[in-house]
Chains A and B, each alone.
Chain A
Amino acid sequence: MDDFVDIALTVNGKPYRGRCEPRKLLVDFLREDLGLAGTHAGCEHGICGACTILFNGQAARSCTTLAVQADGAELLTIEGLAGDGGLHPLQQAFHDHHALQCGFCTPGMLMTALDFLNTVEQPTEKQIREALSAVICRCTGYDNIVKAVAEVAKAKQG
């Protein structure tokens, strides 16, 4: 049995190479091997959404994905969200609306909202709530998160 496999992938625009056991979860690979600990591991079975990243441009759970499955993929994690110009509009809106408390769910919320806003133009509040139901928050009661995402959706329409 081959114990280790080599993988090469792009994370936040930078190329990375790694060597890991096939059983290594992508979330652990990001945190432990690449030192990108902004992606959080909560339930580790797909339910809570804390580990959500963008996988080839689409939101995906990094706890239900093996690191080997990301060989050749392009990922975006929370560390890549803010650009040179400062916070991403979603991050700024979360800040403005007090949309986080402990912050554990926040990376997953932001990455989920990012993909959602890329996919759905002019979302209704119902659609926003439905999309965010993919991520569990134990602190905020969701209202301020919904407001933050709604504000960015509105700003995008210009």
Chain B
Amino acid sequence: MKPPKFAYHAPAALEEAIQLLERYQGNARVLAGGQSLVPLLNFRLLAPEALVDLRKVPGLADIRVSQDRIHIGAMTRQRAAEVSPAVRQHLPIMKEALGWVGHLPTRTRGTIGGSIAHADPSAELPMVLLALDGEVFVRGPSGARTIAADDLFDSVFTTTLAPGEIIAEVRIPPMDAHAGFAVEEYARRKGDFAIVAIAAIVEGNAERCTRARLVAAGAGGRPVRLRACEEMLQQRGLDAQTVEAASRKAAESVTPTADPVASADFRRHLTGVLAKRALGRAIKLLEVPSHG
């Protein structure tokens, strides 16, 4: 398999990368880790006029902790994030999710920004970005802006990034040190894309749940918040009966579509089963004084 011909640029500054993207008027693609883009080129599902490789742009692979955010450079390799002490300490659910992203040899190349920009509806990182109220810091021809996760993911493989815009950084508020959390996923083989995955974060205790956050991947064209489920937990607590009812609510509230991998009913069923499992593990962690 050979990719179609393209021009290759590896600019040494982000401004230059933006200018290049502008120059090709939507016919150029950003190249990050290449773990999704190169297969698409190999299959000739894409034939961009040019690739703009970000590997020489300085400062895009740093992880930094500021007062109220963890800043993860877009070119941070998934594996580097997985072993980062800052991620382990402040965003442990992201660390757990990264263990599900492909395999060790794909995570050494694949980037945080690339996975988010790719917006695969079954991908784990967009799911946790939404669960954590994260945002992306974007640079483009008309300046810089931040986009909240909920406003970024549009539909299957589609974000609201404008042509020429590049994700420079992902910004995520740190998790509460006492929060319980879990990622659960079902795929036919470990390392395959999830059929459905769930990220759950809970705070409080069995009597009173002060905050619940559940997001599903693979249950729609983009990651979806399971709001009905969250509300039920926040109103009634985290006891076993409520978890059971809330998980049923989760399954009822999603509207997946069928594809060759799984029927819509199966995806709905998995949403309920995995929500229950994720909540079960997350609530157990609440009982542990601190983790990380």
List of A residues within 8 angstroms of B31 by Cβ: 66, 69
With A23-B4, A45-B1, A60-B108 as given contacts, are A65 and B34 in contact (CB-CB < 8 Å)? yes
Q: Number of contact residues on A: which range applies?
A: 20 to 34
- B38 near A25 with CB under 8 A, answer yes
- B35 near A46 with CB under 8 A, answer yes
Chain B min CB distance to A35 (Å): 19
Per-position 1/0 for B1-31, Cβ under 8 A of A = 1111111101000000000000000000001
Which stretch, B39-47, B64-72, B221-229, B234-242, touches the partner chain A? B39-47
Chain A min CB distance to B99 (Å): 9
Question: Which residue in A2, A59, A130, A133 is a CB contact (below 8 Å) of B108?
Answer: A59
Question: Which residue in A52, A63, A134 is a CB contact (below 8 Å) of B42?
Answer: A63
Residue A131 CB within 8 A of the other chain: yes
Residue B145 CB within 8 A of the other chain: no
Residue B51 CB within 8 A of the other chain: yes
- A64 near B104 with CB under 8 A, answer no
Per-position 1/0 for A105-147, Cβ under 8 A of B = 0000000100110010000000000110110000000000000
List of A residues within 8 angstroms of B2 by Cβ: 23, 25, 28
Residue B191 CB within 8 A of the other chain: yes
Residue A58 CB within 8 A of the other chain: yes
Residue A44 CB within 8 A of the other chain: yes
Chain B min CB distance to A104 (Å): 17
List of B residues within 8 angstroms of A116 by Cβ: 104
Chain B min CB distance to A84 (Å): 27
- B104 near A1 with CB under 8 A, answer no
Per-position 1/0 for A25-49, Cβ under 8 A of B = 1001000000000000000111001
List of A residues within 8 angstroms of B191 by Cβ: 130, 133-134
- A23 near B103 with CB under 8 A, answer no
List of B residues within 8 angstroms of A64 by Cβ: 34-35, 38-39, 42, 106, 109
List of B residues within 8 angstroms of A65 by Cβ: 34, 38, 109
- A2 near B7 with CB under 8 A, answer yes
Question: Which residue in A22, A44, A45, A55 is a CB contact (below 8 Å) of B6?
Answer: A22
Interface class of chain B by DSSP: loop
Residue A79 CB within 8 A of the other chain: no
Residue A93 CB within 8 A of the other chain: no
With A64-B39, A64-B109, A131-B104 as given contacts, are A69 and B53 in contact (CB-CB < 8 Å)? yes
Residue B267 CB within 8 A of the other chain: no
Residue A21 CB within 8 A of the other chain: yes
Question: Which residue in A23, A59, A112, A130 is a CB contact (below 8 Å) of B3?
Answer: A23
List of A residues within 8 angstroms of B1 by Cβ: 44-45
Within 8 A of B (CB), among A45-79: 45-46, 49, 52, 55, 58-61, 63-66, 68-69
Chain A min CB distance to B30 (Å): 13
Question: Which residue in A2, A23, A60 is a CB contact (below 8 Å) of B109?
Answer: A60
CA of A66 to CA of B191 in the docked complex: distance in angstroms? 22
- List B residues at the A interface (Cβ < 8 Å): 1-8, 10, 31, 34-35, 38-39, 41-43, 51, 53, 55, 79, 102-106, 108-109, 189-191
- List A residues at the B interface (Cβ < 8 Å): 1-2, 5, 21-23, 25, 28, 44-46, 49, 52, 55, 58-61, 63-66, 68-69, 112, 115-116, 119, 130-131, 133-134
**CB-CB nearest 3 A-B residue pairs:** A22-B8, A134-B103, A45-B39
- Given A45-B43, A133-B190, 12 extra CB contacts under 8 A: A22-B6, A46-B102, A58-B108, A59-B108, A61-B106, A64-B35, A64-B39, A64-B109, A68-B53, A112-B104, A131-B104, A133-B191
Of the A-B pairs whose beta carbons lie under 8 Å apart in the complex, a sample of 12, sorted by A's number, is: A23-B6, A28-B2, A46-B102, A52-B105, A61-B105, A64-B109, A69-B34, A115-B108, A116-B104, A119-B104, A130-B190, A134-B103
